[in-house]
A and B are shown apart, each in its own frame.
Chain A
């Protein structure tokens, strides 16, 4: 059984202007010790998926359907009491901006110790030792001295390390990292990604990495989910997604990134603009921007198709190509 299993998750935000279907039927499985990347652009529902798992949605947001099972335990509708034991203990989350996640009026040490004593039955002294241990683990120099400092005395990269230390202090089974390096500079980003990779190897937890940066995914992830407008387009191993993309959106996305070889040439962007989540069409949400859109794409959404053992994609092109191939071999 997989560690985390999300089935047909639907999350909506109920705004003045109407219901925004931010997550629209997302399913995936997360195995122990794996790094799963969720890639997508803004509005693709990647963060909302994570917040739905943690049930830390904004007031207007609500899980309207589907199931989330952690180790076989159903979390949707489990209630706040259950979720409190899940958050921090079994699943931790780190956010894009470490400054807003830390309380500026308390020392780093205070906040770490509080987090540890809250989630485990360690006493103050043990919690202190654990906090120092964690800071050392995430590569903060002179942890005893740093414990006495306030968040503003830390640089962005250091704060993100502290957040990781706090998230990992209770040895969660799953760490959700929501754009953990987006706010950081390239060289600092490299440090943090390396840290996450080595911590994962050392501690063996599973990581859900949410990002818009395919480069970060390529570096870290075993499995990748590509999301567009609240639905999963494609999922599979990193190699499958990068070298054998089977959804028009994934292909377009990979083509549109400038690479070392693309200098002097035109990029191949995806045309058009992202779909309005309030005016979601009946067919494939990507069809209006898709160069290969077919009549059927306008009419109906493609189900998740199995490409091979480690690869699924929801794109009609695969059906078309398969049928064409079949006819060829028949005739």
Chain B
């Protein structure tokens, strides 16, 4: 008989394979979670990673530096109790010293340098920039939190309850959208600024940052929640169509359970991403309001008010405008880039 196949194989090879041998061939991939996957993608994204490092560095600096810096943001170095005002401290160039400090240096003592010089009142400019950064970051962060809370609540209600409630909320959103927001911000900030808000917060810790910032928060709370609400509503609407929500309903789960266990965990990544993208927006708004004089109360500084003050001596001291401008750009840029990176890494729609 002719051999049917040219291959001749040792008969031992035809013994049945054991279950272990077969199982050895299939191995489940190591367990990963959605979050770990996302982080992996995020870390791979160099731009996002660098941005994240920049943000962390700036934030840590803004929090820690004032603790050990020998000068304070409102300390006029030329003004010493019981002595005449020493004008030599005003408008110092970077790394130069006032007259009394110069004497100490000449006497061989160490004097902490004024990295960015001083302003026209003799205040250390570096620490003012640090404080300004602190204020800007804090405003950005808290304003976004406010937007987040209001946006999620209203968006979730609108999406989950639906029907007439949804209709009314969405029309309100449309109306707010149609307002020219910059104009509204300025209008609200100035109206609230001149009202009794300042007196209301007198004596509290809020006094230092001033009524203007409070009104800024209010502006954010009134105007900027709309896009967040729309986003959340859309998310909830599409999540509600998922069969696992139906499955939960079929087991008899209440609305609270469904929202807590199914809806929120599944839109949390979108929420985080858009919050991250909201922060630079808030910082930017705060800066230009401060620039227009509607921001923090003097002597507290913010990056916007520093830039605004710098306009007075722009020809002699251009760096006083450049420094806060660079810091704002750096913060806003890296937050935006990081937010984009977050979205690429976590938004399932993009990496489907």
Contact = CB atoms under 8 A, between A and B. Distances in A.
A and B touch in the complex (CB under 8 A): yes
B34 interface: no
Nearest to B1: A329
B25 interface: yes
A322 B26 contact: no
Contact of B9 (A273, A296, A326): A296
Nearest to A293: B17
A305 B5 contact: yes
Chain B interface extent, by class: 20 to 34
B108 interface: no
A314 B276 CA distance: 55
A16 interface: yes
Given A319-B5, A323-B8, A298 B25 contact: yes
A295 B3 contact: no
Question: How big is the A interface, by class?
Answer: 20 to 34
Nearest to A322: B4
Nearest to A15: B351
Interface string B140-174: 00000000000000000000000000000000000
Contacts of A272: 26
Interface in B1-53: 1, 3-5, 7-9, 11-17, 21-29, 41, 44
A279 B27 contact: yes
B21 A295 contact: yes
B25 A288 contact: yes
Given A293-B16, A298-B21, A329-B1, A323 B29 contact: no
Given A276-B29, A318-B5, A294 B23 contact: no
Contacts of B44: 16
Contacts of B3: 322, 326
Interface of A is mostly: helix
Contacts of B7: 303, 305, 319
Contacts of A273: 26
A7 to B, nearest CB: 20
B5 A287 contact: no
A275 B27 CA distance: 9
Nearest to B4: A322
Contact of A294 (B5, B13, B26, B27): B13
Contacts of B13: 294-296, 299, 316
B25 A296 contact: no
A283 interface: yes
A278 interface: yes
Contact of A288 (B9, B16, B26): B26
Interface string A257-290: 0000000000000001101101101010001111
B9 A323 contact: yes
Contacts of A278: 29
Interface string A93-121: 00000000000000000000000000000
Contacts of B12: 295
Given A279-B26, A287-B17, 6 more contacts: A275-B25, A295-B14, A298-B25, A299-B13, A303-B7, A322-B4
19 contacts: A276-B26, A276-B27, A276-B28, A281-B25, A283-B25, A287-B17, A289-B22, A294-B14, A295-B13, A295-B14, A295-B15, A296-B9, A298-B17, A298-B24, A303-B7, A316-B14, A318-B5, A319-B14, A326-B3
